[in-house]
Structure 1
């Protein structure tokens, strides 16, 4: 199951959608405090005891609206990695995409829409019964986006048992959210988590949103939300594209000019 929100009405372009989320470099610890979660992406909690975050100009996690050839609007998430470059999932900008719009926020919480100049999906993107392969794309904007960029870890893969934070604009509430999870399987193609109901999971609309770890004292992108099984329910598994895979790393180096690549 792809984690892309589909079938939204054109009014969504004005109404603006939102996310469900999901840990750090410590193999034992996950971040459960809502202030810490939201501050990891440059925002503050929307509610005191939750993990929904106030949309802000200071977050690199973007809402992307994708218009297909029939005029239907879907949504995905993305993460800014360079002045005019955003990483997202390749399945979000497949052959049916006719326009991609980034939603930007100012300091007062007002939103504006900026149309992407172009986008390119990994040329070897493909699908297996459970997960996508090379599910990475780069969306380019003509002008630099005002939000901060986040570094990308390409030189080393994450490991089993490490904690991540996952961020996105997906279900169930469609607001920007961050949550914690622990990686339980690592392969060349993906990082995987299994949701047991105690931490967090990705949901439709979170596709392309970042999985980050604390490396060198900073949040660094190590994966992108790609696909899942079992919906958002306990027992479900979510797969993140492993950005350290050589084919993926080479693609990001070639397409994301100006990104800080570690």
Structure 2
């Protein structure tokens, strides 16, 4: 995606080589590039990025719910009813007869979007893709560093054509100060809303046609969306990073927008149970964890998931019990009153986990907050 000074988006078919907004707009007097992929990339394997979507206007996107695709604001023309977009899901090869296709029903462009920052949008499909793999949004700014995965069907070279096969690459985080110092349009970087990634020497980047696609990172064994392909000067040029919408700053707004158009992450759940019956000692004034690895599920966990715990302890008023999701999100199950002198905890908690991807490593955390009494986690079972 080779974006030129924010006046060209990586809309069109952008390659993952340079930074070019893949949206629906172009510079004054300049036609939008209809062809751009990922520069410096290699072909992705079928099923490697199962939530990836190709949009007919020449953008990428990711499944947020079974009926909503998250993409870039510059890929769409505004908010309102829209039946002109076709979403292609489930394949690496865009010509595959196995592709699942849906037409759009409604588009919601980020409120306040004016071409600078806030580059996100939701596309509601006419009907859900039942069982679709969903990409979880990053909600923790602490994850906005390290190395990221980028992917798209955009141009593989600056000014090149759209690709038939999904390409992938990895790029490292570039801090805001360095990114702004790249000059040109980068001096206007909206640091609270945008995140940069690239190698100093260039050679790997998103490009025209990659706009709207996700930039991801695996956190605690689960892929989360760190960014949305937004813009850049050219594709994969040295000293010209790719710029992405910083999802951690918009996760709450995106969820609220999806809720407003009836796109809440479905309760879902696969009904499977996962148990750890290995004893874990709970010493005084210590936090311990016990893990289970959930697998074989599709999409998100249930809105009425259950956590059944069997904890042996001689003074449960010392205990604080939490469930830790694969992405690190903590759910408080119980904080017993200090004066609760009863023994043991044999209880089943119901938790709304519909915003969490079901598969991954889940942890039961038990904190002992005082001295004199100890115990152990005897066993626990998570049903997602």
Would the TM-score normalized by the shorter structure come out above 0.5? yes
Report what 1:93 is aligned to.
Answer: 76
Mind listing any 5+ residue stretches in structure 2 that lack a counterpart?
4-8, 13-31, 157-161, 177-190, 259-263, 266-353, 358-384
Aligned residues of 2:172 and 2:199 also touching (Cα < 8 A): no
Rounded to whole Å, the distance in 1 between the matches of 2:46 and 2:36 is: 9
* 2:218 aligned residue: 214
Identify the match of residue 51 of structure 1 among 42, 48, 66: 42
Number of residue pairs the alignment of both structures matches: 212
Corresponding residue for 2:11?
A: 4
Deviations 1:181-239 (A, max 9, x none): 01112431111023445662010111111111111111110110001113343332211
Instruction: Give the match for residue 250 of structure 1.
Output: 252
Contact 2:174 2:241 in 1 (8 A): no
Give the distance between the partners of 1:206 and 1:184, measured in 2 at CA: 19
Contact 1:82 1:260 (C-alpha < 8 Å) held by counterparts? no
- TM-score by structure 1 length? 0.70
Taking only aligned residues, the RMSD between alpha carbons, in angstroms, comes to 3.0
Is 1:200 matched with 2:295? Answer: no
Is 1:61 the counterpart of 2:56? The answer is: no
Larger radius of gyration: 2
- Conserved? CA contact 2:203–2:236, under 8 Å: no
User: Which structure has more RCO (C-alpha within 8 Å, separation ≥ 6)?
Assistant: 1
1:177 aligns with 2:167: yes
Aligned structure 1 segments of 4 or more residues deviating by more than 6 angstroms: none
Quick one: distance in 2 between partners of 1:147 and 1:19? 23
Q: Distance in 2 between matches of 1:107 and 1:241?
A: 24
- Summarize the Cα distance change of 1:168–1:58 in structure 2 as closer, same or farther, 3 Å threshold: closer
Q: Give runs of aligned pairs for residues 1-262 of structure 1, distance below 5 A.
A: 1=3, 2-5=9-12, 6=32, 8=34, 19-20=37-38, 51-53=42-44, 59-66=50-57, 75-95=58-78, 99-105=84-90, 109-110=96-97, 111-127=99-115, 132-145=116-129, 147-160=132-145, 162-172=146-156, 174=163, 175-186=165-176, 187-197=191-201, 200-245=204-249, 248-256=250-258, 257-258=264-265, 260=355
Q: What TM-score do the two structures reach when normalised by structure 2?
A: 0.49
Residues in 1 aligned to 2:152 and 2:88: alpha-carbon distance in whole angstroms: 13
Q: Per-residue deviation at 1:93?
A: 0.6
> Whole-Å Cα distance in 1 between the matches of residues 230 and 49 of structure 2?
24
* Counterparts of 1:190 and 1:60, CA distance in 2: 22
